[in-house]
């Protein structure tokens, strides 16, 4: 598609910006050089004050029936993973549901936000927010051990427009697969899933638990064996880490 591109010097959050502005066209793409209040999943923040990073959000408000919103997050994660692996040559993994990791450190995060039509329960807008540590040279001390960038891992710098272009072309293709062939999408996603078969720690009914990550279900949920039973973990409610 052709995008309506906006480039902002600084904004609290490109997702919030799109959410709060009326009259934006379908396929509006907002890039920010810096975000002062970058948002992550589960109410967390996302460090996005380094101008070497790539922070952007895409707005979809038309033809939403082409997509199955249940798989939008999975489509996004796979797209970012594949694009970043291609441009950098690094072998990257996906930490469920949508964090991109390299050797135990986070390289990119995704925040998808949708609005449902109250009366019909159909999707009326989709905002896909992507943050990638591309040329980031350093992180605040508290993130040093858990975050990394393409630059730090490869010693090269990247043209951010080209990285974005690659992510978007994977994304448009994978978004269509959410409806046309979700099984293929899930199969590709599962190939790169972190901790498969390993012990993980997670919150279940607000309590921390341990279990073995057994599988990804056809709905894109996690199947975990814990204390003798099989549990299904849904996105949005829980976070996992290695046990």
User: Edge-to-edge, what's the strand order for the sheet holding 4-11?
Assistant: 4-11, 28-35, 54-60, 123-132, 105-116, 99-102, 93-95
- The owner of tokens 């894109």 is 220
Q: Is 41 annotated as a binding residue?
A: yes
* DSSP character at residue 78: H
Q: Is residue 220 within the footprint of ligand BTN (CB under 6 A)?
A: no
Q: Is residue 38 within the footprint of ligand BTN (CB under 6 A)?
A: yes
The residue with its CB nearest to ligand BTN is 109
Pick the closer one to ligand BTN by CB: 53 or 182: 53
Q: Is 66 annotated as a binding residue?
A: no
Q: How, if at all, do strands 28-35 and 4-11 pair?
A: parallel
Q: Is 106 annotated as a binding residue?
A: yes
The minimum distance between CB 229 and ligand BTN, in angstroms, equals: 28
Q: Is residue 69 within the footprint of ligand BTN (CB under 6 A)?
A: no
The minimum distance between CB 30 and ligand BTN, in angstroms, equals: 9
| The only residue of 13, 27, 136, 235 in contact with ligand BTN, by rule CB under 6 A | 13
Alpha helical stretches, state H, 56-159: 72-88, 150-154
Pick the closer one to ligand BTN by CB: 16 or 226: 16
Residues 6 or more apart whose Cβ sits within 8 Å of residue 124:
61, 64, 115, 116, 117
């Amino acid at each position: 598609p052709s995008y309506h591109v906006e480039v902002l010097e600084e904004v609290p959050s490109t997702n919030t910006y799109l959410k709060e502005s009326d009259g934006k066209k379908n396929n509006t793409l907002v890039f920010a050089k810096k975000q002062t209040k970058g948002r992550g999943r589960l109410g967390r923040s996302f460090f996005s004050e380094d101008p070497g990073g790539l922070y952007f959000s895409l707005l979809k408000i038309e033809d939403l029936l082409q997509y199955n919103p249940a798989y939008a997050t999975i489509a996004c994660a796979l797209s970012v993973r594949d694009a970043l692996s291609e441009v950098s040559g690094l072998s990257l993994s996906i930490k469920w549901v949508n964090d991109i990791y390299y050797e135990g450190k986070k390289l990119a995060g995704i925040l998808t936000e949708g609005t449902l039509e109250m009366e019909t329960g159909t999707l009326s807008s989709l905002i896909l927010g992507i943050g990638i540590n591309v040329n980031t040279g350093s992180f605040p001390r508290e993130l040093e051990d858990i975050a990394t960038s393409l630059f730090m891992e490869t010693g090269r710098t990247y043209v951010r427009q080209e990285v974005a272009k690659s992510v978007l072309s994977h994304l448009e293709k994978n978004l269509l697969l959410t409806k046309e062939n979700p099984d293929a999408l899930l199969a590709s996603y599962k190939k790169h899933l972190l901790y498969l078969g390993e012990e993980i720690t997670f919150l279940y009914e607000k309590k921390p638990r341990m279990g073995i990550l057994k599988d990804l279900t056809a709905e894109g949920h996690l199947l975990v064996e814990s204390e003798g039973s099989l549990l299904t973990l849904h996105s949005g409610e829980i976070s996992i880490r290695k046990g």
